[in-house]
């Protein structure tokens, strides 16, 4: 037994409210053929959808076999839709790329009926609606009346207690409509059929009860349930719907295959995304590699040098900057300016510090220095010893000093070299301009 109590359904579209159903109360018997008539937009489809559990209501109550659907869980609704309700639509809603048999068998996908049993039942349901020899046709090869028969077979295959039909003959000619109505009448012999229709004559001729709707309320009911009428109201236990993993998989796979274009496009779009990410990652890793290489090259040409004597270059720099500033201010007094600069320069040179390189080398060779050693590509030691190399000249058997380079001496600039050596101390190794002979780097990759 199905009962609707003060049911209300509003639709909200933007700021507007559409009152599709307003305060509707009606009871359906377990076995009757009800036709619902009414003008377009009066809420017929909405009513069927609510009864079928395809839409929810705003207030009021829908009572199914004595139990209010207010406390239905999602699972309860699934069970209800799957086992108690069969739906037939005006537009058939068939899957066009599957055969008639598959279409009907599909509605058993959520049951635990084995596969061959499903096909048997589907074939039996199709035989019932007169399509015994069309099992392997596709819906596209069929007429409207035949497609509606397939839809009815699909609605019946789970043997529902209630069949809901929304204008099932709306798209059919009168001759085919009569055939479909005959079929529905036959079906209504042992269950509740609620049919929405535009055609009052067909309703009059076939159904056992006619309900007229207008603006979401019942305006007439040809055979209302009277008070005190005995109605079955027991709660029947229901099987839970469930889909086997294999079924779900094969359904999804089928779906993928039938929409090849879309699947391809999706795959293509997805791969663009993945390729894009890959591209960005390879670019960034390439960039990082390049930076590392540049860093390494730079470090090779400008190694960290630790001398036994150091001079704080920053003091020298700031002394120069200072001079510039003062120079601008006191440009008229040249003597004072250059004196101050010379003082600072000499002061900074006096500021040199000594490094204990012997201890440092010891530390490098101790286990503690191992880590530092590993971070460097190569460590070289320079002892500031000049190698003396002489060349026996071909003419006159004369010995000529090749290293240290005697060129400067010959040019009379040996004083300059000495001065430089005095000032820079061991730093000469960092400015190897005048050296002809040099020790090879320890790291073989740096020798080219």
Q: Which residues bind Mg ion (CB under 5 A)?
A: 45
- Residue 20 near which of ligand ADP, Mg ion, none (CB within 5-8 Å, type-dependent): ligand ADP
Position of tokens 């879309």?
Answer: 262
- Residue 406 near which of ligand ADP, Mg ion, none (CB within 5-8 Å, type-dependent): none
Shortest distance, position 158 Cβ to Mg ion, whole Å: 24
**Mapping DSSP to helix (H, G, I), strand (E, B) and coil, where does residue 212 land?**
strand
Cβ proximity to ligand ADP: between 118 and 212 the closer is 212
> Number of C-alpha atoms within 13 angstroms, CB side, residue 346?
6
Sheet holding 16-28, edge to edge: 16-28, 2-13, 59-64, 67-68
Shortest distance, position 37 Cβ to ligand ADP, whole Å: 10
**Mapping DSSP to helix (H, G, I), strand (E, B) and coil, where does residue 413 land?**
coil
Q: Which residues contact 163 (CB under 8 A, 6 or more apart)?
A: 85, 86, 87, 88, 155, 156, 184, 187, 188, 191, 192, 193, 194
Six-digit token pair at 56? Answer: 């929810």
Shortest distance, position 213 Cβ to ligand ADP, whole Å: 7
Cβ proximity to ligand ADP: between 20 and 211 the closer is 20
**Mapping DSSP to helix (H, G, I), strand (E, B) and coil, where does residue 414 land?**
helix
Which residue in the shown chain puts its C-beta closest to Mg ion? Answer: 45
Cβ proximity to ligand ADP: between 198 and 344 the closer is 198
- Residue 314 near which of Mg ion, ligand ADP, none (CB within 5-8 Å, type-dependent): none
Shortest distance, position 101 Cβ to ligand ADP, whole Å: 31
- Residue 43 near which of ligand ADP, Mg ion, none (CB within 5-8 Å, type-dependent): ligand ADP
Cβ proximity to ligand ADP: between 44 and 209 the closer is 44
Q: How many helices, marked H, and strands, marked E, lie in the chain?
A: 15, 14
Shortest distance, position 188 Cβ to ligand ADP, whole Å: 21
Cβ proximity to ligand ADP: between 97 and 198 the closer is 198
End-to-end Cα spacing for the chain: 97
- Residue 18 near which of ligand ADP, Mg ion, none (CB within 5-8 Å, type-dependent): ligand ADP
d(CA 301, CA 321): 28
- Residue 11 near which of Mg ion, ligand ADP, none (CB within 5-8 Å, type-dependent): ligand ADP
Where do contacts with ligand ADP occur on this chain (CB under 6 A)?
Answer: 11, 13, 18, 20, 38, 40-46
Shortest distance, position 145 Cβ to ligand ADP, whole Å: 22
Shortest distance, position 164 Cβ to Mg ion, whole Å: 12
Q: Which residues contact 108 (CB under 8 A, 6 or more apart)?
A: 118, 121, 122, 157, 158
Which whole-number Å values give the CA distances from 68 to 2, 61, 97, 228, 440, in the listed order? 10, 7, 39, 20, 95
């Amino acid at each position: 037994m199905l009962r609707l109590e003060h049911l209300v359904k509003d639709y909200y579209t933007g700021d507007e409210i559409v009152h599709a159903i307003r305060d509707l109360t009606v009871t359906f018997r377990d076995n009757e053929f009800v036709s619902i008539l009414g003008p377009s937009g009066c809420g017929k489809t909405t009513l069927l959808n609510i009864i079928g559990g395809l839409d929810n209501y705003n207030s009021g109550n829908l009572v199914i076999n004595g139990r209010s659907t207010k406390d239905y869980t999602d699972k309860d609704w699934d069970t209800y839709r799957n086992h108690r309700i069969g739906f037939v639509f005006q537009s058939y809603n068939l899957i066009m790329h599957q055969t008639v048999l598959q279409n009907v068998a599909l509605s058993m996908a959520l049951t635990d009926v084995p596969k061959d049993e499903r096909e048997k039942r589907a074939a039996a349901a199709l035989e019932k609606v007169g399509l015994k020899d069309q099992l392997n046709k596709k819906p596209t090869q069929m007429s409207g009346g035949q497609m509606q028969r397939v839809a009815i077979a699909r609605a019946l295959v789970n043997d529902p207690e209630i069949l809901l039909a929304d204008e099932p003959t709306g798209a059919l000619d009168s001759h085919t409509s009569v055939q479909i109505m005959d079929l529905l009448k036959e079906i209504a012999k042992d269950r509740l059929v609620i049919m929405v229709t535009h055609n009052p004559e067909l309703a009059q001729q076939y159904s056992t009860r006619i309900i007229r709707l207008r603006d979401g309320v019942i305006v007439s009911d040809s055979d209302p349930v009277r008070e005190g009428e005995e109605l079955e109201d027991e709660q029947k236990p229901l099987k839970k719907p469930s889909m086997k993993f294999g079924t779900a998989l094969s359904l999804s796979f089928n779906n993928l295959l039938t929409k090849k274009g879309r699947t391809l496009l999706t795959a293509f779009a997805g791969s663009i995304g993945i390729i894009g990410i890959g591209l960005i990652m390879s670019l960034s890793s390439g960039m990082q590699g390049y930076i590392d290489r540049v860093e390494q090259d730079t470090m090779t040409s400008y190694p960290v040098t630790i001398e036994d004597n150091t001079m704080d270059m920053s003091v020298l720099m700031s002394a120069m900057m200072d001079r510039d500033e003062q120079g601008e201010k006191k440009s008229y007094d040249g003597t004072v300016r250059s004196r101050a600069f010379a003082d600072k320069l000499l002061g900074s040179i006096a500021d040199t510090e000594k490094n204990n390189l012997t201890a440092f080398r010891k530390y490098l060779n101790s286990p503690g220095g191992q880590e530092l050693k590993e971070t460097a590509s190569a460590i070289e030691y320079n002892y500031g010893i000049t190698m003396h190399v002489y060349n026996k000249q071909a003419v006159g058997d004369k010995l000529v000093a090749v290293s240290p380079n005697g060129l400067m001496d010959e040019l009379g600039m040996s004083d300059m070299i000495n001065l430089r050596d005095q000032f820079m101390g061991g730093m000469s190794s960092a400015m190897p301009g005048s050296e002809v002979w040099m020790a090879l780097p320890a790291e073989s990759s740096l020798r080219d």
